[in-house]
Amino acid sequence: MTLNETLKSNILKDFDNRLQTELSTDLYSFIATVKLDKGDSFHNVVDVIFNRDGAKGLKDFLDRMIVMVEDFREMNDDA
């Protein structure tokens, strides 16, 4: 495994842990339910962001995804 693959893997593991602890879901369930533009797969998006923005950019993107899902859940709970 290359350094970049290891970095991506570790970032995705951290994201999976946050999904489990903060949202009571896991990465596989998240991937199955999230809809991305243009039919891109979650893994393709991760690769593009990592290649374009590096490890920090990918982590920032995934952190924003957590916040977005939390906000969406709060909106639905209030409705």
pLDDT of amino acid 58: 97
Structural domain includes residue 65: yes
How many domains are there within the chain? 1
* Torsion sign across C-alpha atoms 67, 34, 13, 55: negative
Per the structure, the complete domain to which residue 38 belongs is given by 3-74
79 is a domain residue: no
59 part of a folded domain: yes
Contacts by 54-60, CB closer than 8 A, 24 or more apart: 55/7, 55/8, 55/11, 58/8, 58/11, 59/11, 59/14
pLDDT per residue as tens, the chain (79 positions): 899 999 999 999 999 999 999 999 999 998 888 777 777 788 888 999 999 999 999 999 999 999 998 998 889 888 7
What is this structure's pTM? 0.84
